[in-house]
Amino acid sequence: MSIDSPTRLSKGNFLYRHPEFYELMYPETDEATPSMCLRMFSRFLSKPPKSILDVGSGTGRDLDVLSRTCTDCSGIDAVPENIEYAKKIRPHLNLQVEDMRTARLGRTFDVVMCMGSTLMYALTNQDVEKVLQTFVAHAHPGTLLVLDLRNASSLLDGEKFVEREKKDVNLPGLSAKVISLHSIDHYEHLLIRRRTWHIHGQEPVEDFCEYRFFYPTELEHLLGEKGFRIVGMYDNKELKDTDLSGPRLYIAATFDPQNTSTNTA
Strand stretches in 32-71, DSSP E: 51-55
Residue 162: pLDDT band (50, 70, 90) is confident
251-263 burial: b if 16+ Cβ within 10 Å, else e: bbbbbeeeebbee
pLDDT digits (tens, 9 = 90+) for 37-65: 999 999 999 999 999 999 999 999 999 99
pLDDT at residue 24, as a whole number: 86
Q: Indicate whether 4 pLDDT > 50.
A: no
d(CA 252, CA 230): 6
The helix/strand/coil state of 190 is strand
pTM of the model: 0.90
Q: Indicate whether 186 pLDDT > 80.
A: yes
pLDDT digits (tens, 9 = 90+) for 59-109: 999 999 999 999 999 999 999 999 999 999 999 999 999 999 999 999 999
pLDDT at residue 15, as a whole number: 86
Q: Which domains does the chain have, with CATH numbers?
A: 31-154+215-264 (3.40.50.150), 159-211 (2.20.25)
d(CA 174, CA 187): 37
Which of 154, 168, 156, 235 has the alpha carbon at shortest distance from 200? 168
pLDDT at residue 157, as a whole number: 67
The helix/strand/coil state of 104 is coil
- Helix then strand count (H, E) for the chain reads 9, 11
Q: How confident is the model over 18-39, as a mean pLDDT?
A: 92
C-alpha angle 21-25-234 in degrees, rounded to nearest 5: 125
Tell the burial category of 6 from Cβ atoms under 10 Å away from its Cβ (0-12, 13-18, 19+): middle
pLDDT at residue 146, as a whole number: 98
